[in-house]
Structure 1
Amino acid sequence: MDILSNLALGFETALTLNNLLYALMGALLGTLIGVLPGLGPVATMAMLLPSIYALDAVPALIMLAGIYYGAQYGGSTTAILINVPGESSSVVTAIDGYQMARKGRAGAALAAAGLGSFFAGCVGTLIIAAFAPPLTELAFQFGPAEYFSLMTLGLIGAVVLASGSLLKAVAMIVLGLLLGQINTDVISGVPRYSFDIPELTDGIGFVTIAMGVFGLGEIIANLSRPAEHREVFTKDVKGLWPTWQDVRDAFPAVLRGTSLGSILGVLPGGGALLASFAAYTVEKKTRGRPGEVPFGQGNIRGVAGPESANNAGAQTSFIPMLTLGIPPNAVMALMVGAMTIKGIQPGPQVMSSNPELFWGLIASMWVGNFMLVILNLPLIGIWIKLLTVPYRLLFPAILCFCCIGLYTLNNNNFDVYMAALFGLVGYGFFKLGCEPAPLLLGFILGPMMEENLRRALLLSRGDWGTFVTRPLSAGLLAVAVLMMVVVLVPAIGRQREQTFHEAD
């Protein structure tokens, strides 16, 4: 009954006209920055922080939260329509979503992403209300050794995620890990592999690689085809909404993605991103109905599962920030900064000392998710119209769109040049038949893996046994080893190759 009375207080706070307007503003702004590659919620929220001095704490935090989970919605739009992931967590969505768009099913893909995100957002909000303290306790069990083991498991899962040759999948992950080493050493502060280029001392931006490999690489691949084969989208658009069969296929994937995202979102360091990759891997290993579209060729489960996972992860990432004052990612760190600006000390006392803020923010998430569905579903028809534009007009617009997004990252031409270079690399991957998604996962997880590995060894005074003597870490490594064995068993390996050969 306490939860019901608390939620009633939350909705009473969230449903005031002032707070509804700020929730709508945050949701709209989040959708726009999700659609625009390069800007991202962190940069937008950082720019808006000075403006919250003039606002009360509740509307300010409601608006900032709306920007964050709104960006998760918007990021899937460009991933599906033009193969340019707006957010890092939308990378996996592009694999099947873009293929659906090419087959005239962009409407079904966008609707599956939107409705799956809404369901996951609602479930995530309920989980925050009901299970925040126990889930935070789970996050407390994770030390550096456990994080290293979890990320190792994530990388091995990426081998399962990749289509085709195992050797190519492993090579892509290793290349991603190597690219992730171009930065400044976190412990000694010495630049590594930057070749005395000042712009590389902070590393290569994720957006630069993603936009180059996915967006520009796709454009070069299309332009390399003869003119008569260059129109990548079918003129036959098969309805704006999912069929009843699509709903039956997607709903179990939404449930699985929501479950994964709700758990992994609590963990610091990209839980929503890990959740989307994990959800895609789970869907590929889950038996579908006979005759369904193969993964990588426009399977709706490959859109619904990851989109649900990243939205559930975005919601539950508020748990450690609200209950402990510990930000699990850069966006939550900005939320903590916003609370501090308003004179609120983040931590366990917020629930009792500022119940209107705590429960009002939770209730506003449900309201904001509902607004996002109302905003995004009517826009599907407008987005579909983009696909009827001839490719000779569409690709310069995409190119211009990408360059603007890249330039706004650091107001520097260097990011545009780097993306052009990675566009050529992406074209090379296309010609070689390599799947770029594992490269991006390796690139993101590499620096975090290294940091946690070194931190764990420092805490254990160089004892490598710490990874197997801690039960949770040992369990995660055991699952990783089991996955490796399963993939490497010759009979399973042959079956896997045959499956992907048939899919091609």
Structure 2
Amino acid sequence: MIFGVIIGIIIGALPGLSSTMGVALFIPVTYAMDPGTGLAFLSAIYMASTYGGSISAILICTPGTPAAIITAMDGYELTKQGRSGEALSMATIASFFGGIISVVALMLIAPPLSKLVIEFGSAEMFLLAVLGLTIIVSLSQGSMVKGLIVGLTGVLLATVGTDTLTGAYRFTFDKMELFGGMPVVPTVIGAYSASQVFALAVQKRSTIQYDSEDNVKKTYNIVSVKEIIKNGFNIVRSGIIGTIVGIVPGAGMSIASALAYNTTKNTSKKPGLFGKGSLEGLAASEAANNGVVGGSLVPLLTLGIPGNSVSAVFLGGLIIHGLRPGPSLFTKYANISYTLFIGLLVSTVLMMIAGLVGAKYFGKIATVPTNVIAPVIMSLCVIGSYAIRNNIFDVQVMFAFGLIGYAMSRLKFFSAPLVLGLILGPIAESEFRRAMMISNGDVSAILASGISKFLFLLIIGFLVYPFIQEKVKEFREKKEEPVVEN
């Protein structure tokens, strides 16, 4: 498990190497292990790689995994303020508690929670994807039009490729590389990482963080116990959100982190700090990401339904050891199953220790001169983009979106809605069309179930609440203005 945690953190931190790839690469290694040890090893890689994506996201604004996109928004701002140690340690603590919550849920309430999976059809999945997209409203406060333009552009980019229902080619321009759709990882790496390289090249600072002797000292600070306690409820709530979203097949970490971030921002006393260096937002995203880990294994182990792409690969690890999902895992093979559960708990503890020990040293990256760190980041961008499909086209996409991302930042547009639209757009489109086919075009069928109605109310609430919050704030400020007598 120590070996798995180290591998997982490295895989998560390197752009282009996802948790899915990490688990898949090391399944053959488990052939020589007994089933309990092999599954514990794979689960350690899964848990640690999910957390590892936050390290590069925080330090160099390069999400190691798409799940760390939300983390990068506040994490990188904290690094620029010289608070990389605080950001990394908060991400570690939040990931630890999110992981613990999900594993406890997996151990104690897996069979009852698995029944929730059966209730989710195409309509519910469509509404869940739309719910994830509502974070665009929160990210766009102050410039709603710009945020919506970028978000809808991301959704439109998601339509590129082969139509999954009809097989028709859409906006591919006869380029074989686009038949599978717009490559997500190179787009994410370009919009976030390559654009930052261009920004570093033109900035006047000599390092990523603001030049200041005080900032250099703060780099090595870790988050205070007081700050952790202050964020306790936020972390627990986000971990629960991540666990629930993880149980739903196909939902994934991007939806979980978006929902947790949005919920935290809407209930925060300082929503103005979000996107500018908020430890609250960072904690919410990371707790939700790792909450998905245990949640995604609930439907896999009880019903044989993978919660996401990583758990689908994990299913291969079960099968090669002669195990089949279902009740027998908790009766006949209980010793193996509970070895896996305890292994996940131990891996989460090891991940926290490694993260807290490394937080002080990882932060030194922010003090490296930009003329050294910028070429290194760009090299990682090229390698990460090329490694997915061994295709130079993906590197070209990365460079193109790097330039687009840099131009957007100069024009005060947001990159996050673009990426969210690109990731969640295909889920929303395919599930909506599938729901329409099932109901013969009856749109009212979308809200037929109780879960659909509940998700619809949440969508309305997330869309309306920021405006209500803004009006209340304006009213209070107006009320507190001193009366000037003539």
TM-score, length of structure 1 as denominator length:
0.89
3-state SS of 2:247 partner: coil
Matching residue's letter, 1:258: G
Gaps of 5+ in 2: 478-486
Other-structure match for 2:32? 54
Matching residue's letter, 2:266: K
- Structure 1: how far apart are the matches of 2:359 and 2:19? 22
TM-align CA RMSD? 2.1
- Structure 1: how far apart are the matches of 2:325 and 2:140? 41
> Which of 416, 423, 443 is the matching residue for 1:444?
423
> Which of 131, 140, 144 is the matching residue for 1:153?
131
After TM superposition, give the deviation of residue 487 of structure 1 in Å: 5.0
Q: Does 1:250 align with 2:228?
A: no
> Which of 218, 241, 248 is the matching residue for 1:267?
248
Number of residue pairs matched by the alignment: 471
Could you tell me the percent identity over the aligned residues? 34
Contact 1:177 1:442 in 2 (8 A): yes
> Which of 40, 51, 56 is the matching residue for 2:18?
40
3-state SS of 2:273 partner: coil
- Structure 1 window deviating more from structure 2 (439-448 vs 155-164): it is 155-164
Residues 253, 233 of structure 1: CA spacing in aligned structure 2 closer, same or farther, 3 A cutoff? Answer: same
> Which of 44, 68, 74 is the matching residue for 1:66?
44
- Structure 2: how far apart are the matches of 1:463 and 1:337? 39
Contact 1:176 1:439 in 2 (8 A): yes
> Which of 196, 215, 218 is the matching residue for 2:196?
218
Cα deviations by residue, 1:315-367 (Å, 9 ceiling, x for unpaired): 21111111111111111111112212222122222111200111111110000
- Structure 1: how far apart are the matches of 2:136 and 2:337? 37
> Which of 363, 366, 373 is the matching residue for 2:345?
366
> Which of 127, 144, 154 is the matching residue for 2:105?
127
Q: How does 1:157-236 map to 2 (within 5 A)?
A: 157-225=135-203, 228-229=204-205, 231-234=207-210, 235=212, 236=215
Q: Does 1:377 align with 2:356?
A: yes
- Structure 1: how far apart are the matches of 2:166 and 2:474? 47
Matching residue's letter, 1:253: N
Other-structure match for 1:10? none
Other-structure match for 1:318? 297
- Structure 2: how far apart are the matches of 1:50 and 1:115? 31
> Which of 298, 308, 311 is the matching residue for 2:277?
298
Gaps of 5+ in 1: 1-22, 499-504
Matching residue's letter, 2:418: L
- Structure 1: how far apart are the matches of 2:146 and 2:473? 15
Q: How does 1:337-376 map to 2 (within 5 A)?
A: 337-376=316-355
Matching residue's letter, 1:400: S
- Structure 1 window deviating more from structure 2 (274-283 vs 104-113): it is 274-283
3-state SS of 1:37 partner: coil
Cα deviations by residue, 1:207-233 (Å, 9 ceiling, x for unpaired): 1111111111122123233xx345331
TM-score, length of structure 2 as denominator length:
0.92
Other-structure match for 1:18? none
> Which of 76, 80, 88 is the matching residue for 2:58?
80
Contact 1:486 1:492 in 2 (8 A): no
Residues 163, 249 of structure 1: CA spacing in aligned structure 2 closer, same or farther, 3 A cutoff? Answer: farther
- Structure 2: how far apart are the matches of 1:91 and 1:465? 34
- Structure 1 window deviating more from structure 2 (204-213 vs 102-111): it is 204-213
3-state SS of 2:63 partner: coil
- Structure 1: how far apart are the matches of 2:421 and 2:463? 17
Q: Does 1:403 align with 2:382?
A: yes
- Structure 1: how far apart are the matches of 2:78 and 2:460? 34
Contact 2:191 2:405 in 1 (8 A): yes
Contact 1:161 1:284 in 2 (8 A): no
- Structure 2: how far apart are the matches of 1:65 and 1:319? 13
Other-structure match for 2:484? none
Cα deviations by residue, 1:40-69 (Å, 9 ceiling, x for unpaired): 122232233333333322222212111111
